[in-house]
Structure 1
């Protein structure tokens, strides 16, 4: 993993993919990259 993208680069992030309606393992797990970014990064 090189870390060249952030979850906000995904067009589904914060629109249809949220912790309440996850579309992948990164949002399903409370420790996943997307879930963590969703919780702690500025909108």
Structure 2
């Protein structure tokens, strides 16, 4: 559940982008911008 994951990461102090539509139909994504040790981190979710 991407919404629950987004809420939990935000609550724990991570800088997380807003949830947006993914490239494939029926998917949503958000990006974790900090505390990832320089590793680009994308959270994927399906409807």
TM-score normalised according to structure 2 size: 0.24
TM-score normalised according to structure 1 size: 0.24
Q: Which has the higher contact order (CA 8 A, sep 6+)?
A: 2
Structure with a larger share of its residues in helix: 1
Structure with a larger share of its residues in strand: 2
